Structure 1
Amino acid sequence: MKKKLWIIILLVLMIAGCSTSDQPKDKGIGHVDSNWQNETGEYNSDKGEQTKAPIDNDLKLIKNGSATIKTKSVNDSYQNILNLVKEFDGYQTDISRNEGSNYTTIRVEFKIPADNLDAYLEKLDASEDVKYLNVYTKDITNEYFDSDIRLKQLEKDLAKYQEFFDKAANVEEMLKIQYEINRTTTEIEILKGQFKLWDSLISYSTITLDISEYDDVIQTSQEIKFSALSFEDFLYYLKSGIVRSASAVVSVVQYAIILAIAGIPVWLPVGGVVYFVIKKRKNAPKKEKVKKPAEEKNITEEN
């Protein structure tokens, strides 16, 4: 009985070993699809790399700021601010100026190395009347390092696809692998461009300043100066006035004549009717007035 049991156990172990050895170790070059990364273990999320907690020096921070400055002279303050920016290795990127009759405002934008931002703002506050200051920071550390891991993984994938392309057995396999190579290359270039943008935003801070003059409670009135026309201007305007008046009179007469001639089809029938009515009333016999009794009595008494 024991011998039979041992024989059965040995048979089971042999069958299990054969089934394990029969499993394919590589699916071949012809099978290239979206699951390739998981099958090779490159993209497997269970064993994939995780973002390590960065130390303080590895934090990726984008720092920008804005401020409002009041001054007696906008131009002088602007020149002082520009000198401070150059002192801290910064540069101007944009400026807009608005000038009115009683005021001047300037809106200017600078780029300053992020490491010099705090020192620059401290010196700015000491040299100018800063009424409002806002410094805002955006932490992109996790996004930055996740994208870095993604970039390295894509570069590994690209190298694998290049190896597969070199070993392709037919045109169909080459086309499939070339598609993956193009897609991966595009993603790599997009990520590299994003890193360039991030590095620029991290290295240099953007500062926007609004510079304006103090609000005056009492506005000075403008000086009134006497002015008169020169003799030549006087003759010119006089001549122009006479000519325009004469032109207006002539225009009225011309339009009256035009209206009279153009209205003949209307004036003739209307004039004829009016003339006929007036003539008929003149030719009609006059009626004698009937004397009232009181008037007759007065006549009799007079006689």
Structure 2
Amino acid sequence: MVRDNILIRALVVPVVAVVALLGGCSSSVESAGDGSYAEHEPAPGKPMDGGQEGYPAEDGDTGEQEPMVIRTKTLRLEVAGTEDAVEEIRELTRSVSGTVSDMQVATDDGWVHRRDGDGEAMRGWVTVRVPSESYEDFLDSVLGLGTLEYQSEATEDVTQQHVDLSARLENLRAQEARLREFFDAAQNVEEMLAIEKELGRVRGEIESLDAQVTYLERQAAMATVTVELTEPRAVVTPQGPSWGFVEAVTNGFRGAAELLTGALTVAIATSPLWLTGLVLFLPIRAMVRRRRARAAAGAEEG
């Protein structure tokens, strides 16, 4: 009991010493069963953890870790009907226990619903998440819905990242377990507070690493497939040779509009001149008329 108390005080008073000791213990020592610790030593002629004889395994060795690959696929298909193809993709996704994460359907002119019979081509985008084991079968089914126009695929191998994060997470959990043992054996409030503070820090790192590991596992377990759907555009051909009547009428109206526009522009631009002339013309005309009237009256009297 006295020995345990001395060990606890030596480790707790400087908290940094506790962490350093715990980190060393979790990676390079093991319990000998009698309270003491002995370093790992390889058996003669036996390799350690898949490494060379008498040496530990090299960093980056994934051992029996299954490959973890994140897959992302993009397809563009020309289909007879976008809305029908979207429903078929939904059914295919449900059949493999996948989920639809995004879906959009629109005309080329905007995000509006097509009216029956208006002849506008539709476009659609569907993004789904499917289990990796059903990835290839799902793609084969989707490709059967129309004509492939474009495809791209991106893969990211996160096996080593997952191994590294998992190893760090395991070490931190071992440190947490040791700290809890020290906390239970603490003799005073000062030791308990110091260990509790270190426990909080280690617990925060554990939760962060655990979230990262879980995210990688979920991303690798489900592949992301985005399918762009297009419809063939209607092709309009002339029924016969054109005689040019429509073009002539169109050009005539266009020329008349241009002529009226030009005349209106000239009238507005010269308005100061003809307004000034009109103001001067009216009084002069009235004066001339009065003179003519007087002259006519004088001639009649004579």
Assess same fold via TM > 0.5: yes
Deviation of the 1:114 alpha carbon: 0.7
CA gap of 1:31–1:43, structure 2 versus 1, over 3 A, is farther
The match for 1:73 is 81
Note the C-alpha offset of 1:85: 2.1
2:148 aligned residue (100, 111, 130) = 130
Query: Are 1:208 and 2:215 counterparts?
Result: no
Percentage of identical aligned residues: 22
How far is the alpha carbon of 1:135 from its aligned partner? 1.9
* From 187, 191, 199, the counterpart of 1:169: 187
Q: Which moved more, 1:45-54 or 1:108-117?
A: 45-54
C-alpha distance 50-159 of structure 1, shift in aligned 2 (>3 A)? farther
What TM-score do you get using the length of structure 1 for normalisation? Answer: 0.57
> Which is greater in Rg?
1
Deviation at 1:92, TM superposition (A): 1.4
Alpha-carbon distance in structure 2 between the residues aligned to 1:218 and 1:73: 19
Specify whether residues 124 and 219 from structure 1 end up closer, same or farther in structure 2 by C-alpha distance, changes over 3 A only: farther
Give the unaligned 5+ runs of structure 1: 1-23, 221-303
Q: For residues 56 and 137 of structure 1, what CA distance do their matches in structure 2 show?
A: 21
**Secondary structure of the structure 2 residue equivalent to 1:127:** coil
- 1:166, 1:56 → 2: CA distance? 37
Q: What are the residue-to-residue correspondences of 1:40-79 with 2, within 5 Å? A: 40=22, 41-42=24-25, 51=59, 53-54=61-62, 58-79=66-87
Secondary structure of the residue aligned to 1:215 is coil
Contact 2:60 2:160 survives alignment (8 Å): no
Tell me how many residue pairs correspond in the alignment.
197
Q: Does the CA contact (< 8 Å) of 1:51 and 1:145 recur in 2? A: no
Paired residue type of 1:173: E
Q: 1:88-114, CA deviations, whole angstroms, 9 ceiling, x for partnerless residues?
A: 332212211213462211111111111
Aligned partner of 2:16 in structure 1 is 34
- Residue aligning to 1:112: 130
Q: Normalization by structure 2: what TM-score?
A: 0.57
Partners of 2:21 and 2:65 lie apart in 1 by 37
Coordinate RMSD, CA, aligned: 3.0
